[in-house]
Amino acid sequence: MSAQTIMTRILPALALLALAVPASAAPELTKPEKATTCAACHGEVGVSNIGMYPSLAGQYADYLEHSLKDYRSGARKNAIMGAQAANLTNQEIKALAAWFSAQQGPLYTPSVHGNLKP
């Protein structure tokens, strides 16, 4: 069998394989240890049923990261969250933001998703 024949047989198979890999094949994020302390107020996966505690699930990760850093520095003032963020490292904040952002949540952006709730 010529090399060209092999390629014409293998390439379509490879293309099919690539299609068969589901979009959700991205590695699952491990729940950060510190996320358990957030659950009391923000819910187990960041979906809050209490109005005064914002939902974090599905929020943009960079927004969550920015908020946590601002609570920690005091640029965003809130006694509860200031205390929560005080001892978080940048690495922990990044991991928390990524994990909560990856959870299914009720948040949506009207300009992106239209005015109807999904």
Shortest Å, Cβ 27 to ligand HEC:
21
Q: Does 68 bind ligand HEC (CB under 6 A)?
A: yes
The count of chain residues that interact with ligand HEC, using the rule CB under 6 A, is: 18
CB 58 within 8 A of CB 104: yes
Q: Does 7 bind ligand HEC (CB under 6 A)?
A: no
Angle at 95 between CA 89 and CA 96, to 5 degrees: 90
Interface residues for ligand HEC in 70-89 (CB under 6 A)? 78, 80-81, 84
- The nearer residue to ligand HEC, 2 or 111, going by C-beta atoms, is 111
Q: Does 31 bind ligand HEC (CB under 6 A)?
A: no
**Rounded Cα gap, residues 20 and 1, in angstroms:** 27
Shortest Å, Cβ 88 to ligand HEC:
6
Burial of 95: CB neighbours in 10 Å, binned 0-12, 13-18, 19+: buried
> What is the DSSP annotation of 9-63?
HHHHHHHHHHHHS-GGGSPPPPPPTTHHHHHHHH-TTS---STTS---TTS-HHH
Choices 7-15, 22-30, 33-41, 109-117; region in contact with ligand HEC by CB under 6 A: 33-41
Residues lying near ligand HEC in the complex (CB under 6 A) are found at 34, 37-38, 40-42, 52-54, 56, 64, 67-68, 78, 80-81, 84, 96
